[in-house]
Structure 1
């Protein structure tokens, strides 16, 4: 089915004055799902153009998609001090408060899943359940070569590291991305809290990772070590194209509906 035009964004202002763009879909009287995208993506790119907002609203959910700071239509600070896990989690909480949402379900992919893990731990009374896509234990961006990325951005130098090059190529393909801000995000979030068996949220969690993603085994292991975790392997997908999978959407929607009162 065709994807309808998205709504206009609504600005939410964070505690440090950064403008966070949000997009609302469906009936606010229905249970709400907050959707948070991955690194170098955006709320509309990750969740709307791929059919998630369509399928979730048809399933009876109200959806708030967020452009994380540094992404999409949100402000893009270039200082590393503007990016920590604590700040990204606080942005999500500010969105919930602005929309007067007492309790929500959460759907996140990659960076958005890592934020969701931490948010679920800190606010179990606000996040009742979550779908966490493309998340392993540890820090997958630890391998990102910040110095090489800066040389590429500033001087056009070739990037030899394959992972760094893949992320930069993906970031460059999304209109409106500011590569300098995204590299600041990577550097600012280094050495922050990481998901692991010793800090798992207690809510029901669905983990989903592509069968062709190199982190699939680590993601499955994290799900098995989580008190109320289940795992779905997204067939035929890697880390970058998993959000487009119909099987992923269906598994997530079924999970979220099963957790309704």
Structure 2
């Protein structure tokens, strides 16, 4: 089931206008959704059908367009994209909506941002779902400089790097500001240390496709967490795992399991 994106609102933080939407049950437990690199709240959550999944579970859904993405402002300075700053945007959105604490689900870069949110603002996070990012959160996810080059190339025809072509094609599809995305990728790849992972006491679900060659092993990351668990999404790569039914069921089961904790 796919829905059109709901009405967007905006708020100002750190000199930027940031877009977000709300959906689901306004009186339900809040879940904050943080999308991945070169994506948006619409492409990461609306189009893959997460809104009906979470709405049927009685959730209040809040989804942000990260700086440099979607309908939010697009700074071109790489210094604007440190994950601590982007985590600060998420915390500011919770402040704006007067939400003390939320379950947080991030995909890929959104998982990294949510990790920084939890380390730096632990009181705001009730639980975490990390999709599309396993041990790469700690060990890195490879060389992304060719992706920045692909984003700045005159056209997709000029790009030969396989992963670069994938992200350039996605950026073109979403109508993204490619200069902003190149700036983002230049400074967002900050790793989370094992010591910081050990300080995340909230329950965490790590979900990665078995054909994902970017994320790294989810079980290795879950084993580092005080309360971590991992789910393999069978036969899915980095792009296709986001809307998979196994992923959705795992998230709903996870929320049911931690209810009342």
TM-score, length basis structure 1: 0.91
* Contact 1:146-1:187 within 8 A present in 2 as well: no
Q: For residues 233 and 249 of structure 1, do their structure 2 counterparts lie closer, same or farther at Cα, with a shift above 3 Å needed?
A: same
Match of 2:219 in 1: 220
Query: Per-residue deviation at 1:141?
Result: 5.9
Match of 1:180 in 2: 179
Match of 2:117 in 1: 119
1:140 aligned counterpart, secondary structure: coil
1:230 aligned counterpart, secondary structure: strand
Match of 1:170 in 2: 170
* Contact 1:197-1:222 within 8 A present in 2 as well: no
Match of 2:105 in 1: 107
Query: Per-residue deviation at 1:232?
Result: 0.3
Query: Per-residue deviation at 1:7?
Result: 1.9
Deviations 1:69-111 (A, max 9, x none): 1111111111212211111011001100000000100011000
Comparing 177-186 with 138-147, which one deviates more in the overlay? 138-147
Match of 2:69 in 1: 71
Q: For residues 156 and 53 of structure 1, do their structure 2 counterparts lie closer, same or farther at Cα, with a shift above 3 Å needed?
A: closer
Match of 2:8 in 1: 9
Q: For residues 169 and 5 of structure 1, do their structure 2 counterparts lie closer, same or farther at Cα, with a shift above 3 Å needed?
A: closer
Would you say 1:230 and 2:235 are equivalent positions? no
Map of 1:42-61 to 2, 5 A cutoff?
Answer: 42-61=40-59
Query: Per-residue deviation at 1:150?
Result: 5.8
- In structure 1, runs of 5+ residues without a counterpart are none
Query: Per-residue deviation at 1:197?
Result: 2.6
Query: Per-residue deviation at 1:151?
Result: 5.1
Match of 2:129 in 1: 131
Match of 1:93 in 2: 91
Q: For residues 88 and 28 of structure 1, do their structure 2 counterparts lie closer, same or farther at Cα, with a shift above 3 Å needed?
A: same
Match of 1:197 in 2: 194
* Contact 2:208-2:217 within 8 A present in 1 as well: no
- In structure 2, runs of 5+ residues without a counterpart are none
Query: Per-residue deviation at 1:6?
Result: 2.6
Query: Per-residue deviation at 1:124?
Result: 1.7
The separation in 2 between residues aligned to 1:167 and 1:253, in whole angstroms, is 29
* Contact 1:108-1:132 within 8 A present in 2 as well: yes
2:217 aligned counterpart, secondary structure: helix
1:240 aligned counterpart, secondary structure: coil
Map of 1:33-44 to 2, 5 A cutoff?
Answer: 33-44=31-42
* Contact 1:196-1:222 within 8 A present in 2 as well: no
